[in-house]
Amino acid sequence: MSDNSTPETSPRIVIIGAGMAGILTVIKLREAGYDNFVVYEKADRIGGTWRENTYPGIACDVPAHLYTYSFEPNPDWSSTFASGPEIQAYFERVAEKYDVMRHIRFNEAVPHVEFKDGRWHIRTASGREDVADFLVAATGVLHHPHVADIPGLDSFTGACFHSAQWDHSVPLEGKRVGVIGTGSTAIQITSALVDKVSRFDLFQRTAQWISPIDNHVYTEEEKERFRTDPAFLQAVRDEINAEFGRFSNAVIDADSQEMKDIEAACLANLEDNVKDPVLREKLRPNYRAGCKRLIFSSDFYQAIQHPSAHVVTTPIERVEADGVRLADGELRDLDVLVVATGFRVDSFIRPTTVLGRDGVNLDDVWAEGPLAYMSISVPGFPNFFMLNGPNGPVGNFSLIQIAEHQVAYILQLMDKVRRGECREVSATPNATADFEQRRMAAAKKSIWSTGCKSWYLDKNGVPASWPWSRARFFEEMAKPVLDDYDLAS
Last residue of a domain, one of 293, 324, 339: 339
pLDDT at 366 over 90: yes
Q: Judge if 280 and 332 occupy the same domain.
A: yes
Last residue of a domain, one of 292, 320, 339: 339
DSSP string for residues in 132-164: ESEEEE---SS-SBPPP--TTGGG--SEEEEGG
Give CA–CA dist 25/104, Å, rounded: 12
236 with 109, same domain: the answer is: no
| Residues 420-431 pLDDT 10s | 999 999 999 999
Domain annotation covers residue 93: no
Tell me the per-residue pLDDT of 73-86, one tens digit each, with 9 for 90 and over.
999 999 999 999 99
**Strand extents, DSSP E, 368-439:** 384-386, 424-427
Q: Is the pLDDT of residue 439 over 90?
A: yes
Radius of gyration of the chain (CA): 23
pLDDT given at position 148:
83
What is the spatial order of strands in the sheet that 316-320 belongs to? 316-320, 323-326, 331-333
333 with 370, same domain: the answer is no
In the chain, what's the furthest Cα-to-Cα distance?
Answer: 71
Q: Which domain holds residue 159?
A: 153-216+224-339
Core vs surface per residue 361-375: b (16+ CB within 10 A) or e: ebeebbeeebbbbbb
Measuring CA to CA, which residue among 202, 208, 160 is closest to residue 61? 208
Residues 255 and 328 in one domain: yes
Q: Is the pLDDT confidence value at 190 over 90?
A: yes
- Mean model confidence pLDDT for the chain: 95
User: Could you tell me if 290 and 178 lie in one domain?
Assistant: yes
Same domain for 332 and 206: yes
Whether the full predicted model's pTM is greater than 0.85, yes or no, is yes
Burial class (CB in 10 A: 0-12, 13-18, 19+), 190: buried
Q: What is the pLDDT of residues 201-230, one digit of tens each?
A: 999 999 999 999 999 999 999 999 999 999
Neighbouring CB atoms inside 10 A of 131's CB total: 18
Residues 321 and 349 in one domain: no
Residue 23 · residue 95 · CB < 8 Å: yes
Query: What per-residue confidence (pLDDT) applies to 6?
Result: 42
Q: Which of 285, 307, 339 is the last residue of a domain?
A: 339
**Between residues 108 and 347, which one has the greater pLDDT?**
108
Mean predicted confidence (pLDDT) in 350-372 = 96
Comparing CA positions, the residue from 398, 459, 454, 385 lying closest to residue 425 is 385
350 exposed, middle or buried (CB, 10 Å; 0-12, 13-18, 19+)? middle
Q: For residues 364 and 475, state if they share a domain.
A: yes
Q: Confidence band (pLDDT; 50, 70, 90) for 9?
A: low
Q: State yes or no: pLDDT of 362 exceeds 60.
A: yes
DSSP state of 34: -
Residues 415, 388 share a domain: yes
Give mean pLDDT, residues 288-311. Answer: 96
Cβ contact 280:250 at 8 Å: no
In a domain, 92, yes or no: no
Q: Is residue 62 part of a domain?
A: no
Question: pLDDT digits over 100-126, tens only?
Answer: 999 999 999 999 999 999 999 999 999
Residues contacting 432, CB < 8 A, separation 6+: 371, 372, 373, 377, 378, 379
Q: What is the pLDDT of residue 169?
A: 98
Regarding whether 275 and 419 lie in a shared domain, the answer is no
pLDDT of residue 245: 86
CATH number of domain containing 175: 3.50.50.60
Q: 256 and 116 in one domain? A: no
Mean pLDDT is lowest, of 67-81, 151-165, 210-224, 340-354, for: 340-354
* Residue 416 counted as domain residue: yes
Number of domains in the chain: 2
pLDDT at 175: 98
Whether the per-residue pLDDT at 3 is higher than 60: the answer is no
Same domain, 246 and 313: yes
